Amino acid sequence: MATRSKSSQRWLKEHFSDPYVKKAQAEGLRSRAAYKLEELVERDRLLKPGMVVVDLGAAPGGWSQWVRQALGSIDQANPGRVVALDILEMPPLAGVEFLHGDFREDDVLSRLEATLGGVEVDLVLSDMAPNKSGVDAVDLPRAMHLAELAMDFADHHLRTGGTLLIKLFQGVGFDEYVRELRRRYAKVVIRKPAASRKRSPEVYALAQGRLAQIK
């Protein structure tokens, strides 16, 4: 039997001792990532009754699950819509419309557009990340490509005044990407929620108030 590497053993120990993992399990949430979103959403009051939310890179469903519950709590009569997409399969969530496919492919984007049916989106969430090779020169461009696709989707489907919340990795291309967000949105801030592991290079860009025209 193959033995686990020291790094994988360290990750397992860290994961199962993680207070956010334990809290997610206790509260019936699919992922500790829900607490990242909870902090980001509540700090800036991003959710409103009846919103249409698109969750890119949704599996295993932690963000979609939290948003669906939060929207229902805000307004049970008009809980809005949550549309989720991922290259990985995701077990069904009540009230979440899930599409299985690779966001990099045109036919998957077309299916997502068909699901929306021409309705403008209020909030685009993107927690997308590529499978890591461990080589920054490979991983960072892949991550940036996904981020650019998410920004392009928001350009075409987010309503004027809408919000994009997207995971980014600090490194090559980061500053230029943030500059592009500032051409498109009235306010752009970078956040690192408490549930985001300190050693992780991930941060979240919150871009609010999509402009009618790019500067």
Q: What are the catalytic residues? A: 167
> What are residue 123's phi and psi, to 5 degrees?
-145, 125
Cis bond before residue 60 (omega within 30° of 0): yes
Reference 67, options 44, 93, 92, 91; nearest CA is 93
Q: Is 139 annotated as a binding residue?
A: no
- Those residues whose C-beta lies under 8 Å from the C-beta of residue 62, and which sit 6 or more positions away, are 24, 29, 30, 31, 32, 33, 34, 37
Q: Is 127 annotated as a binding residue?
A: yes
> What are residue 31's phi and psi, to 5 degrees?
-155, 145
Question: Angle CA(71)–CA(35)–CA(181) in degrees, nearest 5?
Answer: 80
Q: Is 86 annotated as a binding residue?
A: yes
Place of tokens 């902090």: 39
Reference 204, options 46, 14, 19; nearest CA is 46
Residues at the binding site for S-adenosyl-L-methionine are 61, 63, 86, 102, 127
Residues at the binding site are 61, 63, 86, 102, 127
